[in-house]
Amino acid sequence: MSVQERVRYSHETVALDGETFSNCEFTGCRLVYAGGDVPEFEDCKFVDCDWKFDEAATRTLSYLKLMWRVGAKASVQSTIKDITVAEK
């Protein structure tokens, strides 16, 4: 896991897996998470960025869609609730 400090990214694709970003600024970037180690963001700024999923992360989203279609909506909604509830 590498640490990026005070880097300004502008209109580029940035791979997020396993990275730590501290006081970085992302402007007009394509931020890609492929399902590896979760990135860390400390005091970063994001302006007009696209957040994308790739590889294993995309397969996880496809699985959640499948669950929704076959009737496991409550489980998907529970997962979304777990994601959106603030940590204490």
- Say if residue 47 is in the same domain as residue 84: no
Q: Which two tokens stand for residue 3?
A: 């640490």
**Average pLDDT value for residue range 6-28:** 98
Question: Which residue do the tokens 């396993």 mark?
Answer: 18
**Does residue 22 register a pLDDT over 90?**
yes
CB of 41 closer than 8 Å to CB of 18: no
CB of 84 closer than 8 Å to CB of 61: no
Prediction pTM value: 0.86
**Average pLDDT value for residue range 35-43:** 97
Structural domain including 22 reads 1-53
- Say if residue 34 is in the same domain as residue 76: no
**Does residue 73 register a pLDDT over 90?**
yes
- Say if residue 61 is in the same domain as residue 44: no
**The predicted structure's pLDDT at residue 86:** 73
- Say if residue 16 is in the same domain as residue 41: yes
- Say if residue 47 is in the same domain as residue 64: no
Bridge partners (DSSP) of residue 5 are 22
By CB atoms closer than 10 A (0-12, 13-18, 19+), residue 43 is exposed
- Say if residue 63 is in the same domain as residue 81: yes
